[in-house]
Structure 1
Amino acid sequence: MLVVPTLILPRDDELEVLGRTVEQSLGRSVQSIDVIGRDPLSRTFSVAMQDGNHLIARIADSHMPIGIMESEIATMKFVHERTSIPVPKILAYELDQSHPLGAHILLEKVSGGVRLDTIFDDLPAEVQDSLVTQLAHFMLEASHLSFPAIGSILLPQSPGPATDPAAVPPLGPLTHPCFYVDGRNALSLDRGPFPTARAYFLACAERERAATRALFASGVGAPAGAEYQALLADTHALVERAVTLLIELVRRCEGLDGADAELARYSLDLHELGPKNVIVAPDEPTRILAVVDWQSASVRPLWRCARTPYWLLPSLVGDDDARKQRLRSVFRAAVAGDPVFARAVDTDDTRHALDEVAEYDTFRDGFLVLPTLQSILATLPGEEDVDGLRKLLDPQTLVGRAARISLLTHGPGVLSLATSTPGSPLSDSPVSFGWNRKLYRYSVPATPRYSVPPTPIA
């Protein structure tokens, strides 16, 4: 049975509270509020002010831990203070869940900018090369920031004028959606921080096992016929088998931690940075105005951070491989001055396949995860079974056809099978979550809303 996500529209009173909150935080009047995006972690609004300015408001889902939004704020602050990477200005935020809106953040909308992915294909080659070079330098900057563990950046517990500007910020649990969506936020999972990559991957395996067992214990497998029960039992067995193989691969995978000390150190991961995350000046597209969408940015091993950006990799259809090959050469030339980073970029081994598989939903996608793990383990020690991975995408097989269907419906990612990054709400194009395409507007009434000064929101 097809399950269609339910769109939960904002109530008029919620939009009214958002309008009042913005006005009280900024001391300016609101003109209108548009709903432009919703994902499992938050809801995003575009707020037009009566003075002609715009801002972005993001409200955390009430079922999600407060640390997810705190990490987004802390990461943007840290990047602004420690690097030359331009980020949107944080106007105000609230991390108290007792606030009528819950946890929320108000961001300055990038004025006059356009999202790079909407114009990149039409830009001259020299402009494209310049932009790729700039993004490569951003990745290099981030890679030079060192941290003691794998996790997500948090705000200092007691910030003040005496805070050392060079101090390493505290780290908290990872904020990647794979630890929180589909009810996983309610499970007692180890989300970090993790002292080693091996500890992280073992936690990923236990996450999938715990999520599947909780799913069956919750009554999803209620009696519905012998065939259905047999299918559920087979699925459960598949997940358990996949998790067992994942743990075995973690145990046998080389180079995760001390075996490759140069690439094992932890830095801020920007390898998923792409045109959808970049706002540029339309009249001067080589001028990057902001890098946006820091919601799930995290600290990872350098071997994961120093990767060729996904959007420069060859596509399955190969329609623009010549251009991508040129841009990959530009990227490599831009990072060549850092030999450690360059070595990591040229390394594509079992660690990377393991890293991608570990973020998959094994219950939903076990038919892809299990053969992938079997293929990789079949050739250890040594390099991964590239031929086996090609067979995984063979259109002559059932699994290959299913994998290609997944590519068309979900986009590139794990072994080119993960969900595509959604567009940024900090540009003129709204986020196009499939079940939330219509814009809903709250507009200021013709008469003033407040005949007396509003009561401050606690």
Structure 2
Amino acid sequence: MDDPASHLPSPHAPATILRLAASLGLPAPTSTEPLTVTAAFHRIYLLHFPASAAPALAPARPNDDGSVTLVLRVSGDHLPRIKTENEIAMMRWVRENTSVPVPAVVRWDSGCENVLGCEFSLLERVRGCSADKVFWGMGDEVRRRVVEQLVGYLAELREKSRWKHVGGLRVDEAGEIVPGPVVDEWFWMAPMVERFWASTGETVESLNPVDGPFTSWGEHV
């Protein structure tokens, strides 16, 4: 299958991102910048806001100087709706039920009827660095503490999880987090369905097991 990054939406101009912020009832960012790295399923932008905007951007935490930086992730049409909904529900559930540090969700949309014409999520920026870039430069004791912390997070996720289904999560109409369909990066995605199955009437839903959640792996298979 194709590289998902080859089906990302076209870059959005700063003026378009400013219109998005206004349409969401947010203060105007002082500047926007596209990240030079490209994720497989998203185009990513940083939105910088003055300190005066911080109350309107809660629960995102401000930077040390009081300003606020948000991360805008603009999705491709790889798995319409279900991928964004699963990501948002997962982040919300982890943040609300565990001590595992994840970004706060400020705004999101799993549809395309918005200024961008794409699904998106607008998240708190959490500063840090990738562990793989620093881990082997740490002393033995620091590495041990890092591993212990990760093991602790995994244990907490297992302990706190109440989910018994096979599938993902989603946010329902009342804003509650509920079981959702299976989401898998190896699914037939919309660009590939269009390329190989356009004349057959097949869809992402008909080619993939997305009609869950399922009660067991046997039911899923």
Aligned to 2:192: 183
Cα distance in 1 for partners of 2:150, 2:27 equals 36
> Aligned pair 1:105/2:121, yes or no?
yes
SS at match of 1:170: strand
Q: 1:24 to 1:172 in 2, by over 3 A?
A: same
Aligned to 2:38: 37
> Aligned pair 1:16/2:11, yes or no?
no
Amino acid at match of 1:150: V
- Shift of residue 94, structure 1, vs aligned partner: 2.2
Q: 1:184 to 1:83 in 2, by over 3 A?
A: farther
Unaligned runs of 5+ in 1: 164-168, 203-458
> Aligned pair 1:194/2:210, yes or no?
no
Aligned to 2:172: 156
| Structure with the larger RCO, 1 or 2 (CA within 8 Å, 6+ apart) | 1
- Which is greater in Rg? 1
SS at match of 1:134: helix
Tell me if the contact between 1:89 and 1:108 (Cα under 8 Å) persists in the aligned partners: yes
Q: Give the alignment's TM-score, normalised by structure 2.
A: 0.73
SS at match of 2:108: strand
Cα distance in 2 for partners of 1:8, 1:88 equals 23
Cα distance in 2 for partners of 1:7, 1:176 equals 17
Q: 1:172 to 1:31 in 2, by over 3 A?
A: same
Cα distance in 2 for partners of 1:157, 1:63 equals 23
Aligned to 1:93: 108
Q: 1:184 to 1:142 in 2, by over 3 A?
A: farther
Cα distance in 2 for partners of 1:7, 1:173 equals 23
Q: How do 1:26-425 and structure 2 match up within 5 A?
A: 26-35=26-35, 36-39=37-40, 41-49=41-49, 52-101=67-116, 102-111=118-127, 113-144=128-159, 145-159=161-175, 169-181=177-189, 183=192, 186-187=203-204, 188=206, 189-191=208-210, 192-200=212-220, 202=221
- Shift of residue 22, structure 1, vs aligned partner: 2.8
What per-residue deviation string (whole Å, max 9, x for no partner) do you get for residues 16-53 of structure 1?
Answer: 222321355431323132143242x3322233346653
- Shift of residue 116, structure 1, vs aligned partner: 1.8
What per-residue deviation string (whole Å, max 9, x for no partner) do you get for residues 98-154 of structure 1?
Answer: 11222211111113x222221111111111111111111111111121223111011
Runs of 4+ in 1 over 6 A off after TM superposition: none
Cα distance in 2 for partners of 1:158, 1:106 equals 20
Q: Give the alignment's TM-score, normalised by structure 1.
A: 0.37
Q: 1:114 to 1:197 in 2, by over 3 A?
A: same
Q: Which has the higher helix share?
A: 1
Considering only aligned residues, what root-mean-square deviation do their CA atoms show, in Å?
A: 2.8
- Shift of residue 62, structure 1, vs aligned partner: 3.2
- Shift of residue 196, structure 1, vs aligned partner: 1.2
How many residues align structurally? 188
Identity %: 22
Unaligned runs of 5+ in 2: 52-66, 195-202
